[in-house]
Amino acid sequence: MSRTAYVNGAYVPHRRAGVHIEDRGYQFADGVYEVWSVRHGALMDNEGHFRRLWHSLKELQIVAPMPEVSLAHILREIVRKNRVRNGLVYLQVTRGVAPRDHAFPADIAPALVITAKSMSTQKSEETAKKGVAVFSTPDERWARCDIKSVSLLPNILAKQVAKRQGGYEAWMVDAQGMVTEGSSSNAWIVTKDGVLATRSLADNILSGVTRGRVLALAAQRQLTVEERPFSIEEAQAAKEAFLTAATNFVMPIVRIDDVPVGEGMPGPLAEALRKDYLQSAVT
């Protein structure tokens, strides 16, 4: 079945979808994006993704393309048209099309693109049962990582560092030697004392929607949680480690820079939180 995309007010065949060469997202990375996971045909963590989308647009002073109720309808329609049972939806809003100039153009309409694709749940479950490896790399991103900008070059380079070494994800490390987050995920550990630790949003990391859900699930389990920095060395010595992201849910980490974490296999808390998440996040 051919895929369908939504581009600036029209549903078009995915293979023919395109944007103008003077779209500011293409020329300046002047835009934001969101990724929803789709499970059993339903969008996951819908409220959290919209909350973060509005924050990103506000911080970049980009006008919202339409009200939330209208956007939600298009998201569901894209899922339906592409017959996505399990997969993801990608939404991107740029400042729009205008002659190339660094300063914001006046009276410009934002550009909106939405796509969807199916993904195998079997592969994700098999990966989660084995756990994944991560590798550390310096964090070279800009200071406003709370904005989900389409400007992702440092993230891409970090992910490639991990991929070249056979890893699944990169953990970025700040100038103080502390883990900030993954190239496309949030980073977590379970300490020797059973404390769940993840970096605080006050440090200007991305407000992961899955991260927020997992914090709520941890509270339901009455776990002790510390939102604080931790080093690669502390993570390597932890009982467990895992990452969270919209398309990974809760993914156990079994090796960090080729050092086994815990028993070198997915830990029980990561597995339990993954199960909790998959049961709770469909909207």
Buried/exposed 214-235: b ≥16 CB within 10 Å, e otherwise? bbebbeeeeeeeeeebbebebb
Q: Is 237 exposed, middle or buried (0-12, 13-18, 19+ CB in 10 A)?
A: middle
Which one of the listed residues 81, 117, 148, 192 is annotated catalytic?
Answer: 148
Q: Which two tokens stand for residue 157?
A: 């380079």
H/E element, 180: strand 179-182
Q: Which amino acid is at 112?
A: L
Which are the contacts of 175, defined by CB distance < 8 A and separation ≥ 6?
A: none
| φ, ψ (nearest 5 deg) of residue 89 | -120, 130
Residue 116: C-alpha distances to residues 29, 52, 178, 215, 219 (Å): 21, 19, 35, 28, 32
166: left (phi over 0), alpha (psi -120 to 50) or beta: left
Q: Determine whether 148 is an active site residue.
A: yes
162, 168 contact by CB (below 8 A): yes
Q: Which two tokens stand for residue 51?
A: 């909350």
Return the active site residues. 148
